[in-house]
């Protein structure tokens, strides 16, 4: 039986059997996990030097929970939101193995050892940036292939340079595989990031095809991350991992510890005026504004621009080159405010965001946590402000249930000045 057929059969058996011996173990409680210093792990000195340059000394909870298992070559399934440090956890694992077990012969072009799958271009590009920061003192080839960018330029890099770590979105990677420009038979480390988002976006059939191109799960290490683990996600985790260590970082911790959450009652027709008034008076140094629809993102950006408020829009229909330019200018402080949809906002990992404003309350409570996680990062304090209109009120009970407590809605003029 071929490896591809073998793992495919494993998946079919897993789905038929429901819970199997390879199912993730009971979650490890985050509060019981000690907080390790990076120096406590036997990491390569070049990697420790890069971590030091980034001014990180101690692991986040997800890193403290994941690294002892992943550095020992165990599979891991991790439940954690964006902004918890999981990207660094799997990149440190990959870079450590590449250092400790280097190639003995020159690597064929287009044949990576580590593959990281991400659902969106922005997230994939952010992972690439983080990988380059961590590998700055190591001779590691890092490549990223994503849709919406010049295919030929990506092809030239893949065929012209050695790639040890490949970061990709599923659709574009399938294109490269079908053209036989990328081969995954030498992948011994597979990372699947934001699996629940891939499921929501309909990418799982492509992800399955990709996973079946890699060696069987007994011949690779798999790190599988998701913000939630419902039945569908659990089936995927059981299928693609081998007796994994399962760790959970509670979303409430991410949402509430460092973010001052405010909920302002406002009629729908006054939202735009209130936002412009707030940005003009308070002048937050860096803020993200989230809407639920693309057209609304553009309309709101244009309205704010007419009020002489400097901002730009990030949505799925914005050309990729402009999206990258907007992100870079936002990171550099040239643009103080960005209006974004959830899909575009997933890839925004920018330190120093002081305010997140939910112009619309998201229908999915997990998206609420993802949004406000853009502020209050790396121990800094942040403020989230959610506009609650008659329409948004329908989404509030689910968010309260997800957070585990009731929220207090106030009139904006009661605490306008305190939200600076």
Compute the chain's Rg from CA coordinates: 22
Task: Say how far apart CA 174 and CA 260 lie, in whole Å.
Answer: 42
Burial class (CB in 10 A: 0-12, 13-18, 19+), 296: middle
Task: Say how far apart CA 26 and CA 10 lie, in whole Å.
Answer: 22
pLDDT at 311 over 70: yes
pLDDT band at 13 (very low <50, low <70, confident <90, very high): very low
- Alpha carbon 382 to chain centroid distance? 19
For the whole model, what pTM was predicted?
0.68
Answer whether 370's CB lies under 8 Å from 342's CB: yes
Tokens standing for residue 61: 């909870």
Task: Say how far apart CA 313 and CA 327 lie, in whole Å.
Answer: 10
Tokens standing for residue 107: 């690597």
Task: Provide, for the chain, the percentages of residues in helix, strand and coil under a 3-state DSSP scheme, each rounded to the nearest 5.
Answer: 45, 15, 40
Q: Which residue has the tokens 């009020």?
A: 307
pLDDT at 212 over 50: yes
Planar angle of CA 259, 312, 362, nearest 5 degrees: 45
Task: Say how far apart CA 360 and CA 337 lie, in whole Å.
Answer: 16
Task: Say how far apart CA 67 and CA 34 lie, in whole Å.
Answer: 12
pLDDT score for 234: 93
Task: Say how far apart CA 334 and CA 331 lie, in whole Å.
Answer: 8
Task: Say how far apart CA 58 and CA 307 lie, in whole Å.
Answer: 44
Burial class (CB in 10 A: 0-12, 13-18, 19+), 387: buried
Q: Can you say whether the dihedral through the CA atoms of 258, 61, 234, 189 is positive or negative? A: positive
Helix (H) or strand (E) holding 325: helix 320-331
pLDDT at 28 over 60: no
pLDDT band at 20 (very low <50, low <70, confident <90, very high): very low
Task: Say how far apart CA 149 and CA 234 lie, in whole Å.
Answer: 32
Phi, psi of 174 (to 5 degrees): -60, -40
Phi, psi of 140 (to 5 degrees): -125, 130
Task: Say how far apart CA 22 and CA 79 lie, in whole Å.
Answer: 17
> Which of these ranges, 21-25, 44-48, 312-316, has the smallest mean pLDDT?
21-25
Mean residue pLDDT across the chain: 86
Q: Which residue has the tokens 């707030």?
A: 278
Task: Say how far apart CA 285 and CA 337 lie, in whole Å.
Answer: 8
In sequence order, the β-bridge partners of residue 221 are 189
Task: Say how far apart CA 77 and CA 243 lie, in whole Å.
Answer: 10
Tell me the fold of 3-249: Rossmann fold (3.40.50)
Average pLDDT over residues 254-280: 87
Q: Pinpoint the residues of the chain covered by CATH 3.40.50.300.
A: 3-249, 253-419
pLDDT at 176 over 70: yes
Phi, psi of 384 (to 5 degrees): -115, 140
pLDDT score for 235: 94
Task: Say how far apart CA 320 and CA 150 lie, in whole Å.
Answer: 10
- CA distance between the termini of the chain: 63
How many other CB atoms are there within 10 angstroms of residue 73's CB atom?
Answer: 12
Phi, psi of 60 (to 5 degrees): -75, 170
Tokens standing for residue 379: 């121990």
pLDDT at 2 over 50: no
pLDDT at 3 over 60: no
Answer whether 67's CB lies under 8 Å from 237's CB: no
pLDDT score for 256: 55
pLDDT at 374 over 90: no
C-alpha count within 13 angstroms, C-beta hemisphere, residue 295: 0
pLDDT at 317 over 70: yes
pLDDT band at 347 (very low <50, low <70, confident <90, very high): low
Does the domain at 253-419 match CATH 3.40.50.300? Answer given as: yes
Task: Say how far apart CA 250 and CA 228 lie, in whole Å.
Answer: 10
């Amino acid at each position: 039986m071929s490896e591809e057929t073998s793992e495919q059969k494993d998946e079919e058996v897993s789905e038929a059997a429901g819970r199997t011996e390879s199912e993730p173990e009971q979650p490890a409680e985050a509060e019981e996990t000690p907080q390790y210093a990076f120096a406590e792990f036997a990491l390569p000195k070049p990697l420790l030097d890069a971590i030091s340059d980034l001014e990180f000394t101690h692991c986040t909870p997800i890193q403290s929970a994941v690294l002892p298992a992943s550095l020992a070559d165990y599979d891991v399934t991790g439940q954690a939101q964006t902004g918890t440090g999981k990207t660094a956890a799997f990149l440190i694992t990959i870079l450590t193995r590449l250092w400790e077990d280097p190639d003995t012969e020159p690597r064929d072009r287009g044949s990576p050892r580590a593959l990281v799958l991400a659902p969106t271009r922005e997230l994939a590009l952010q992972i690439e940036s983080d990988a380059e920061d961590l590998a700055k003192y190591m001779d590691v080839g890092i490549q990223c292939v994503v849709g919406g960018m010049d295919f030929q330029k990506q092809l030239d890099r893949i065929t012209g340079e050695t790639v040890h770590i490949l970061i990709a979105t599923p659709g574009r990677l399938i294109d490269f595989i079908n053209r036989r420009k990328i081969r995954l038979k030498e992948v011994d480390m597979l990372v699947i990031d934001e699996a629940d988002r891939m499921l929501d976006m309909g990418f799982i059939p492509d992800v399955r095809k990709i996973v079946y191109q890699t060696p069987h799960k007994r011949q690779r290490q798999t790190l599988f991350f998701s913000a939630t683990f419902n039945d569908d996600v659990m089936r995927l985790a059981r299928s693609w991992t081998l007796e994994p260590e399962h760790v959970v970082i509670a979303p409430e911790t991410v949402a509430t510890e460092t973010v001052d959450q405010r909920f302002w009652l406002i009629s729908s027709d006054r939202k735009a005026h209130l936002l412009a008034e707030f940005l003009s008076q308070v002048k937050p140094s860096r803020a993200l504004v989230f809407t639920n629809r693309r057209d609304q993102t553009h309309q709101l950006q244009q309205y704010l621009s007419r009020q002489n408020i400097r901002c730009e829009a990030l949505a799925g229909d914005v050309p990729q080159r402009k999206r990258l330019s907007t992100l870079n200018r936002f990171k550099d402080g040239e643009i103080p405010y960005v209006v974004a949809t959830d899909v575009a906002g997933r890839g925004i990992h920018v330190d120093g965001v002081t305010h997140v404003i939910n112009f619309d309350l998201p229908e999915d409570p997990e998206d609420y946590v993802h949004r406000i996680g853009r502020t209050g990062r790396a121990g800094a304090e942040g403020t989230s402000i959610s506009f609650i209109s008659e329409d948004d009120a329908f989404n509030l009970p689910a968010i309260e249930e997800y957070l585990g407590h009731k929220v207090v809605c106030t009139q904006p003029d009661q605490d306008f000045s305190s939200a600076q």
